[in-house]
């Protein structure tokens, strides 16, 4: 059995470490060792579940997961509904603390998306919490609730229309004391389906010729708004999400295949485009929305 240790912090900045080490397992039986995990966010949880699915597909049997030793992390995983999702991915029983009644800072617990009804249920379930968190925590105007609902619907719909495989979505607020000095809302969405290259290949690979690949596919959708749907108004969600996130001074990044594309403000340092990453199926989307400063509000 190959033991793969998780980094001490698992989020959008460190998920590549897990993906890269997991890609070296080469179909072996794997134990994901999370004993020393001290921090995980929605992107990390979805990345961990996605990695588990990929390892199961490659080896023909589910990977084992050794849970964190930190009681705080275990409690958080339980509160976010990680146990319910993980039992469908990993080997054996995962004994997490009993799930509590939730918390006001959790906008959306880990939720599986595999059909249109799931998208509608996600948007409906977060409506009240979204209004409270966006207005009180992030200081966004009341109109932001509708715009946020559109974003949430579009990123979930991306799983159904482009991945053609199940995925997950989760959202949580945090206070980034050192990095930004403000509250932020972190939204994670992920699947292990076809990815952007597989979704757009039939329609656009010839146009890009030798340039066609994961990076070119992400540029096509993210920057140019190209879509595999001929219907006007369909498939342009990613480009519209990018524009709205930018209006809120937020960050958005998409990792698909061997590439990642990002649109980030001054407070983030992600490069606009990375290629040659360890291969990983599907797409992993990260959206970070910061609170408005008192000066912006006033």
Q: What would the pLDDT profile of 168-223 be if each residue is shown by its tens digit?
A: 999 999 999 888 899 999 999 999 999 999 989 988 888 888 899 999 999 999 98
Q: What would the pLDDT profile of 85-109 be if each residue is shown by its tens digit?
A: 999 999 977 888 876 655 556 889 9
CATH superfamily label, 1-96: STAS domain (3.30.750.24)
Answer for the pair 119, 168: CB distance below 8 angstroms, yes or no.
no
Query: Pick from 197, 208, 121, 202: which is nearest to 156 by CA?
Result: 121
Does the domain spanning 103-298 belong to CATH 3.30.565.10?
A: yes
Which residues lie closer than 8 Å to 70 by C-beta, 6 or more apart? 37, 38
Q: Residue 105: its pLDDT value, please?
A: 67
- Compute the average pLDDT of residues 37-41: 96
Residue 243: HSE in the Cβ half-sphere, 13 Å Cα cutoff: 11
Domains of the chain, residue spans: 1-96, 103-298
Q: Which two tokens stand for residue 23?
A: 């890609």
Query: Pick from 8, 85, 13, 72: which is nearest to 251 by CA?
Result: 13
Higher-pLDDT residue of 254, 166: 254
- 234 band by pLDDT with thresholds 50, 70 and 90: very low
Q: What share of the chain is helix, strand, coil (3-state, %, to 5)?
A: 40, 25, 35
């Amino acid at each position: 059995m190959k033991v793969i240790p998780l980094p001490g912090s698992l989020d959008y900045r460190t998920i590549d470490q897990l993906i890269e080490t997991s890609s070296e397992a080469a179909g072996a039986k794997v134990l994901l060792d999370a004993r020393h995990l001290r921090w995980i966010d929605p992107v990390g949880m979805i990345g961990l579940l996605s990695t588990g699915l990929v390892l199961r597909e490659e080896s023909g049997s589910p990977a084992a997961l050794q849970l964190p030793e930190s009681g705080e992390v275990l409690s958080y995983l339980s509160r976010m509904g990680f146990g319910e999702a993980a039992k469908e991915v990993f080997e054996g029983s995962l004994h997490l603390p009993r799930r509590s009644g939730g918390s006001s800072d959790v906008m959306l617990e880990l939720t599986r998306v595999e059909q249109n009804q799931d998208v509608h249920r996600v948007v409906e379930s977060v409506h009240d919490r979204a209004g409270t968190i966006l207005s009180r925590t992030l200081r966004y105007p009341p109109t932001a609730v509708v715009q946020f609902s559109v974003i949430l619907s579009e990123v979930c719909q991306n799983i159904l229309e482009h991945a053609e495989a199940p995925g997950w979505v989760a959202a949580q607020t945090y206070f980034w004391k050192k990095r930004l000095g403000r509250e932020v809302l972190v939204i994670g969405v992920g699947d292990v389906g076809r990815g952007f290259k597989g979704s757009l290949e039939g329609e656009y690979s010839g146009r890009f010729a030798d340039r066609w690949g994961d990076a070119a596919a992400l540029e096509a959708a993210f920057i140019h708004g190209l879509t595999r749907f001929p219907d006007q108004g369909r498939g342009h969600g990613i480009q519209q999400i990018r524009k709205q996130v930018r209006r809120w001074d937020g960050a958005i990044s998409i990792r698909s295949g061997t590439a990642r594309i990002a649109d980030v403000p001054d407070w983030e340092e992600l490069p606009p485009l990375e290629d040659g990453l360890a291969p990983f199926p599907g797409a992993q989307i990260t959206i970070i929305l910061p609170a408005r400063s008192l000066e912006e509000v006033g």
